[in-house]
Amino acid sequence: MRVRFWGTRGSIAAPGPETLRYGGNTPCVEVRTDDGTLLIFDCGTGARELGLALAKSGPVRAHLFIGHTHSDHIQGLPFFVPAFLPGSHLTIYGPAGIDRSFPSAVGGQMDYAYFPLPIKELPSQVDFEELGEGNFSVDAVRVRTQYLNHTAPCLGYRIEVGGVALVYATDHEPQSHPAWRPDRAPGSHDPNDLLHPGDARHAEFLRDADLVIHDSQYTAAEFPAKLGWGHSPVEYVVDMALVGGVKRLALFHHDPTRGDDAVDALLEACREHASKAGGHLEVIAAAEGGEVTLPERSEAAPVEPGPRAPRVPTRARILVAEDDDSLGDMIKEALEEDGYEVQRAGDGREAVRLAEQQQFNLILLDVTMPHMDGFAACRALRADPRLEGVPIIMLTARSGDEDVLAGFAEGATDYLSKPFALAQFRARIRSWLTRAAEAGA
Ligand SMILES: [Zn+2]
Ligand SMILES: [Zn+2]
């Protein structure tokens, strides 16, 4: 398998003398398997140069995996020359959005207001595959998707072929900061020492990968000011790679303000962090034009079926228990805008009573409420076997380690701290509803 970086910059293109070595183009990574399957991860401005290189040998068969539809990840598509060649066939995979479908989110950037040629008029064959979480195959490549924690529904991709595993995971924010439990044994990289199960799930997604390409936009020092923006500090990324037993990590989605020398310094710090942990993890910083070769070791594994459209609940019913009326109303309004039916409860006791009488697809609980607090309500709800598959999400200003641990101990599915970014909250709700629908709740 050959991997080539065509765009490594996050958020917006940042060309100039400061970014010559790591590059100014937004995300685009080319992956070619030994038997010739062409996979492309994201279609930022780096896709323009990639398209020019591919088009030299005529029409192209390619599989484009889009993590999410923020502009830095799709803006290269209208300038991707193979799309303009009759005989080319592009399959574009990506997550369903909240306010529109995946094809209309990607294709919308080519509407007349933005571009002279609508996507429907491209002379190539363009197919869309809307994805949720799951497994499928493309030729001999096994693909697994998992939701990341971003300000839009966003998927990470894990591909395996010939005994080689590669993970592409951008854009993603830690589920908890700091990520570790306070009683963590010094130097431990045991997933059980992570505070939030969402981070343990993320590390598991990276498990034993030969190469992980990961959002590394911030440092831990910068991160508190960027909380809720949906990106990772590098220290967390190295930790997740260590927890997952990753062999090589490529820092990716570089901040547009970070020049080459600053990326060098970040890389140096990450290498030091990795070497203190025993030196099993190699860290590189993705640079435009850079290549990584991962020798395939075995014959292709048995193939799984192709992707299946995710079951996205259209009229999901959500119960919101929140004693602060203005916040409760704000949450209700946002969730109704996303097409859900929302029922409010003013305290834990009312939430439990409503859940006994009515069916809900998801329950949101504040912690500090009169009569019965969120933890006690969660315990009562979890005692009801009817609610077994229903996600219960704590949404609270109580963000101490012991609170988070208490929430999960009472059976919460997820734990979100206030204040929260509304976009990230909506994406998180959508991913839990999709997961629950897939699990047949
Ligand atoms: Zn991005
Ligand atoms: Zn984004």
> How far does residue 253's CA lie from ligand 1's centre (Å)?
7
> How far does residue 266's CA lie from ligand 2's centre (Å)?
21
Confidence label for 195 from pLDDT (cuts 50, 70 and 90): very high
Q: Which of 126, 136, 118, 135 is nearest to 86 (CA)?
A: 126
User: CATH number for the 2-293 domain, one of 3.30.70.3460, 3.10.580.10, 3.60.15.10, 3.40.50.740?
Assistant: 3.60.15.10
Cα Rg for the chain, rounded, in angstroms? 22
pLDDT of residue 300: 66
- Tokens 């969730």 correspond to what residue? 335
Taking the CA of 27 as reference, the closest ligand is 1
pLDDT of residue 324: 95
Comparing 41-45, 186-190, 213-217, 342-346, the range with the smallest average pLDDT is 186-190
Torsion of CA 227, 232, 238, 244, to 10 degrees: 100
Is the pLDDT score of 239 beyond 80? yes
pLDDT of residue 252: 98
Taking the CA of 69 as reference, the closest ligand is 2
pLDDT of residue 299: 73
> How far does residue 284's CA lie from ligand 1's centre (Å)?
19
Confidence label for 422 from pLDDT (cuts 50, 70 and 90): very high
> How far does residue 379's CA lie from ligand 2's centre (Å)?
35
Cβ atoms of residues 198 and 414 within 8 Å: yes
Q: Are strands 134-138 and 164-169 parallel, antiparallel or unpaired?
A: unpaired
> How far does residue 391's CA lie from ligand 2's centre (Å)?
25
Taking the CA of 72 as reference, the closest ligand is 1
Q: Are strands 291-293 and 2-7 parallel, antiparallel or unpaired?
A: antiparallel
What are the angstrom distances between the C-alpha of 87 and each of 84, 207, 311?
A: 9, 38, 32
Alpha carbons within 13 A on the beta-carbon side of 172: 30
Taking the CA of 151 as reference, the closest ligand is 2
Q: Dump the DSSP string for 340-372.
A: -EEEEESSHHHHHHHHHHS--SEEEE-SS-SSS
User: To 10 degrees, what angle do helices 234-243 and 197-205 make?
Assistant: 70
Confidence label for 303 from pLDDT (cuts 50, 70 and 90): confident
pLDDT of residue 439: 85
Is the pLDDT score of 183 beyond 80? yes
Residues 154-166 have a mean pLDDT of: 97
> How far does residue 244's CA lie from ligand 1's centre (Å)?
23
pLDDT of residue 311: 77
Taking the CA of 68 as reference, the closest ligand is 2
d(C-alpha 276, C-alpha 190), whole Å:
15
pLDDT above 90: percentage of residues in the chain: 91
Residues 56-78 have a mean pLDDT of: 98
Query: 181 is written with which tokens?
Result: 């439990």
pLDDT in tens, 360-381: 999 999 999 999 999 999 999 9
Is the pLDDT score of 441 beyond 60? no
Residues 6+ apart with CB under 8 A from 113: none
Distance of CA 188 to the CA centre of its chain: 25
Residues 251-259 have a mean pLDDT of: 98
Q: Is the pTM of this model over 0.85?
A: yes
> How far does residue 68's CA lie from ligand 2's centre (Å)?
7
Query: 208's torsion region: left (phi>0), alpha (psi -120 to 50) or beta?
Result: left
In CATH, the architecture of 317-438 is 3-Layer(aba) Sandwich (3.40)
> How far does residue 5's CA lie from ligand 2's centre (Å)?
18
Looking at residue 138, the DSSP 8-state letter turns out to be E
> How far does residue 69's CA lie from ligand 2's centre (Å)?
7
Q: Judge if the upstream peptide bond of residue 419 is cis by omega within 30 degrees of 0.
A: yes
> How far does residue 367's CA lie from ligand 1's centre (Å)?
33
Taking the CA of 155 as reference, the closest ligand is 2
> How far does residue 145's CA lie from ligand 1's centre (Å)?
17
pLDDT in tens, 79-119: 999 999 999 999 999 998 888 899 999 999 999 999 999 99
Q: Are strands 211-215 and 164-169 parallel, antiparallel or unpaired?
A: parallel
> How far does residue 74's CA lie from ligand 2's centre (Å)?
10
- Which residue type occupies 24? G
Residue spans of the domains in the chain: they are 2-293, 317-438
d(C-alpha 22, C-alpha 258), whole Å:
10
Confidence label for 186 from pLDDT (cuts 50, 70 and 90): confident
Cβ atoms of residues 184 and 195 within 8 Å: no
> How far does residue 29's CA lie from ligand 1's centre (Å)?
13
> How far does residue 350's CA lie from ligand 1's centre (Å)?
41
Cβ atoms of residues 340 and 317 within 8 Å: yes
267-275 long-range contacts, CB within 8 A, separation 24+: 269/234, 270/216, 270/234, 270/235, 270/237, 270/238, 273/235, 273/238, 274/238, 274/241, 274/242, 274/249
Cβ atoms of residues 244 and 166 within 8 Å: no
pLDDT in tens, 383-416: 999 999 999 999 999 989 999 999 999 999 999 9
Taking the CA of 229 as reference, the closest ligand is 2
Cβ atoms of residues 247 and 282 within 8 Å: yes
Distance of CA 193 to the CA centre of its chain: 22
Spell out which residues have Cβ within 5 A of ligand 2, the ion.
Answer: 70, 171
Taking the CA of 217 as reference, the closest ligand is 1
